[in-house]
Amino acid sequence: MFGTRLISGIVLIIIAILALSLGGPTLAGILLVISLIAYRELTKVLKVSGEHQANPGTEKENKRLNLLEIIGMTGIIIYYTIAFFSGTEVLLMMCIVGVFMAMMFSYVVAFPKYRAEHLVGAFFSFMYAPVMLSFVYLTRMCPRGIYMVWMIIISSWGCDTCAYAVGMLIGKKKIFPRLSPKKSLEGCIGGVLGAVLLGGWYGYFFVEPVFPDQTVMWIIAFICGVGAVMSQIGDLAASAIKRNAKIKDYGKLIPGHGGIMDRFDSMIVTAPMIYFLTILMIRF
Q: Whole-angstrom Cα distance, residue 211 to residue 51?
A: 56
Record the pTM: 0.91
Q: Do 202 and 151 touch, CB atoms closer than 8 A?
A: yes
Q: Do 53 and 59 touch, CB atoms closer than 8 A?
A: yes
Q: Do 200 and 218 touch, CB atoms closer than 8 A?
A: yes
Compute and round to an integer the Cα radius of gyration of the chain: 20
Q: Which residue type is seen at 267?
A: M
| CA distances to 62, 163, 251, 255 from 182, in Å | 34, 11, 21, 21
Q: Whole-angstrom Cα distance, residue 145 to residue 28?
A: 14
pLDDT tens track, the chain, 284 positions: 556 766 877 888 899 999 999 999 999 999 999 999 999 999 999 999 765 443 444 455 557 899 999 999 999 999 999 999 987 899 999 999 999 999 999 999 999 999 999 999 999 999 999 999 999 999 999 988 999 999 999 999 999 999 999 999 998 888 888 888 888 999 999 999 999 999 999 999 999 998 888 889 999 999 999 999 999 999 999 999 999 999 988 988 888 778 999 989 999 999 999 999 999 988 76
Q: Whole-angstrom Cα distance, residue 274 to residue 284?
A: 15
Q: Do 142 and 148 touch, CB atoms closer than 8 A?
A: yes
